[in-house]
Structure 1
Amino acid sequence: MRVIAVEEHFTTGELLEADGIGGPGYPSERLLDLGERRLKDMDAGGVDLQVISLAAPGGQQLEVKRAVPLVRRANEMLAEAVFCHPDRFAGLAALPTPDPEAACAELERAVRELGFRGAVVNGHTRGRFLDAPEFRPLLELAAHLRVPIYLHPTPPPDVVRRAYYSGISPEVDGALATSAWGWHVETGLHALRLVLSGIFERLPDLRVVVGHLGEALPFMLRRVDARLSPEVMGLKRQPSWYLRHNLWLSISGFFFEAPFRTAMEEFGAEKILFSVDYPFASSAEGCRFLEGLGFGPQEYAKIAHQNAGELFGL
Structure 2
Amino acid sequence: MKLITIEEHFESELITNEMNKIAGNAISGQVSAEMLEYMKTDLPSDEEMQSTEKRLAFMDKHKIDRQVVSYGNMCPQNLPPNISIDLCRRANDELAKLVQAHPERFSGFAVLPVGSPKDAAQELKRTVEELDFKGVLLKGNYDHKYFDDPFFFPIFEMAQELDVPVYFHPSFIPNTITQQYFESDQWSDVVTGIFSSAGFGWHMDVGIQVIRMVVSGIFDKLPNLKIISGHWGELMPIFLDRMDDMLAPRTTLKRKISEYYQDNVYITPSGILHARELRFILDVMGPDHIIYSIDYPYVKPENAGTFLDELDLDTETKEKIAYKNAEKLLRLK
TM-score bucket (shorter structure): over 0.9
Alpha-carbon separation, structure 2, partners of 1:69 and 1:26: 28
Report the alpha carbon displacement of residue 194 of structure 1 after superposing the two structures with TM.
Answer: 0.5
Contact preservation (8 Å) 2:77, 2:88: no
Whether 1:191 and 2:210 are equivalent positions in the alignment is yes
Residue in 1 that maps onto 2:244: 225
Report the alpha carbon displacement of residue 266 of structure 1 after superposing the two structures with TM.
Answer: 0.4
Residue type matched to 2:8 in 1? E
Whether 1:121 and 2:138 are equivalent positions in the alignment is yes
Alpha-carbon separation, structure 2, partners of 1:209 and 1:117: 12
Report the alpha carbon displacement of residue 145 of structure 1 after superposing the two structures with TM.
Answer: 0.5
Runs of 4+ in 1 over 6 A off after TM superposition: none
Whether 1:212 and 2:231 are equivalent positions in the alignment is yes
The sequence identity of aligned pairs, in percent, is 36
Q: 1:187-210: per-residue Cα shift (whole Å, max 9, x none)?
A: 110000010000011100100001
Q: SS of the residue aligned with 2:294?
A: coil
Count of residues paired in the alignment: 312
Contact preservation (8 Å) 2:12, 2:95: no
Of stretches 170-179 and 64-73 in structure 1, the one that deviates more from structure 2 is: 64-73
Whether 1:32 and 2:50 are equivalent positions in the alignment is yes
Residue in 2 that maps onto 1:260: 278
Query: Do the aligned partners of residues 301 and 109 (structure 1) sit closer, same or farther apart at CA in structure 2, a change above 3 Å counting?
Result: same
Residue in 2 that maps onto 1:75: 92
Whether 1:157 and 2:164 are equivalent positions in the alignment is no
Q: SS of the residue aligned with 1:93?
A: coil
Residue in 2 that maps onto 1:102: 119
Aligned Cα root-mean-square deviation (Å): 1.6
Query: Do the aligned partners of residues 63 and 159 (structure 1) sit closer, same or farther apart at CA in structure 2, a change above 3 Å counting?
Result: farther
Residue type matched to 2:331 in 1? G
Alpha-carbon separation, structure 2, partners of 1:100 and 1:57: 20
Of stretches 303-312 and 23-32 in structure 1, the one that deviates more from structure 2 is: 23-32
Report the alpha carbon displacement of residue 284 of structure 1 after superposing the two structures with TM.
Answer: 4.1
Contact preservation (8 Å) 2:168, 2:229: yes
2:260 to 242, 259, 269: 242
Q: 1:207-248: per-residue Cα shift (whole Å, max 9, x none)?
A: 00010111112211111111113x311111110000001000
Alpha-carbon separation, structure 1, partners of 2:314 and 2:174: 43
Report the alpha carbon displacement of residue 32 of structure 1 after superposing the two structures with TM.
Answer: 1.4
Alpha-carbon separation, structure 2, partners of 1:292 and 1:127: 42
Of stretches 36-45 and 13-22 in structure 1, the one that deviates more from structure 2 is: 13-22
Residue in 1 that maps onto 2:148: 131
TM-score of the aligned structures, taking structure 2 as reference length: 0.90
Q: 1:41-75: per-residue Cα shift (whole Å, max 9, x none)?
A: 10001100000011146234322233223222211
Q: SS of the residue aligned with 1:273?
A: coil
Residue type matched to 2:298 in 1? F
Residue in 2 that maps onto 1:313: 331
Residue in 2 that maps onto 1:171: 190
Alpha-carbon separation, structure 2, partners of 1:57 and 1:224: 35
Of stretches 187-196 and 71-80 in structure 1, the one that deviates more from structure 2 is: 71-80
Of stretches 52-61 and 75-84 in structure 1, the one that deviates more from structure 2 is: 52-61
Alpha-carbon separation, structure 2, partners of 1:71 and 1:261: 38
Query: Do the aligned partners of residues 233 and 212 (structure 1) sit closer, same or farther apart at CA in structure 2, a change above 3 Å counting?
Result: same
Alignment of 1:264-279 (within 5 A): 264-279=282-297
Query: Do the aligned partners of residues 171 and 283 (structure 1) sit closer, same or farther apart at CA in structure 2, a change above 3 Å counting?
Result: closer
TM-score of the aligned structures, taking structure 1 as reference length: 0.95
Query: Do the aligned partners of residues 129 and 258 (structure 1) sit closer, same or farther apart at CA in structure 2, a change above 3 Å counting?
Result: same
Residue type matched to 2:42 in 1? G
Contact preservation (8 Å) 1:46, 1:283: no
Report the alpha carbon displacement of residue 286 of structure 1 after superposing the two structures with TM.
Answer: 2.1
